[in-house]
Each structure stands twice: as C-alpha cells, then as structure tokens.
C-alpha cells in the first residue's frame, strides 16, 4: 500500500484492527500512531512558504473555517455561517 491514498489506508487498517484481539486501549494507541505517521507524510506540501503563512493567518479568523477538499489535495475556505 505504498501509494495508497490516506483514506484508503485508514479504512484497510481499521478493518484489520477490528479483527485484532487487542484491547480498545491498544487499538486506540495503534490508530494514533498511524495517524501521526500519515500526518508526517502529508506535510510534504506543494504550497509556497508565503501561501502557507497566508493560510495560517486565514485559519486564525474566527468567522472562517478551512477544510480539506473531498478530492485532490486542496483546501476549502468557507464562511462559518455557510458551513
């Protein structure tokens, strides 16, 4: 699953985890480790440092919400009242 999309990997991992005999505490720890690894992998960004700074400024605005888009690696910026 080297080139699997994160959501596909998570679904497969969670399915395998359900079959595991480990306790809930152990399963949650495994989920957290996988999530951390995926976040590290996703940090390889294609936006410039200036765009990243602007996005961070936008995220600080309380009336605005930023979300990952359903497709591709895009970010959606919306007014909170419309979300």
Structure confidence by residue, pLDDT tens digits, 19-49: 888 888 988 898 888 888 887 765 555 778 8
Q: What is the pLDDT of residue 57?
A: 92
Q: What share of the chain is helix, strand, coil (3-state, %, to 5)?
A: 55, 10, 35
> CA-CA distance, 15 to 5, in Å (whole number)?
16
| Mean pLDDT computed over 45-62 | 85
| Mean pLDDT computed over 63-67 | 88
Reported pTM: 0.42
> CA-CA distance, 27 to 21, in Å (whole number)?
9
> CA-CA distance, 28 to 79, in Å (whole number)?
33
Per the CB < 8 A criterion, the answer to whether 55 and 75 are in contact is: yes
> CA-CA distance, 9 to 54, in Å (whole number)?
30
């Amino acid at each position: 699953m080297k080139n699997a999309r994160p959501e596909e990997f998570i679904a497969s991992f969670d399915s395998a985890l359900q079959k595991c005999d480990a306790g809930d505490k152990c399963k949650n720890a495994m989920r957290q480790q996988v999530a951390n690894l995926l976040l590290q992998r996703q940090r390889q960004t294609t936006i410039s440092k200036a765009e990243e700074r602007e996005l961070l400024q936008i995220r600080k605005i309380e009336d605005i919400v930023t979300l990952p888009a359903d497709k591709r690696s895009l970010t959606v910026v919306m007014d909170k009242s419309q979300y």
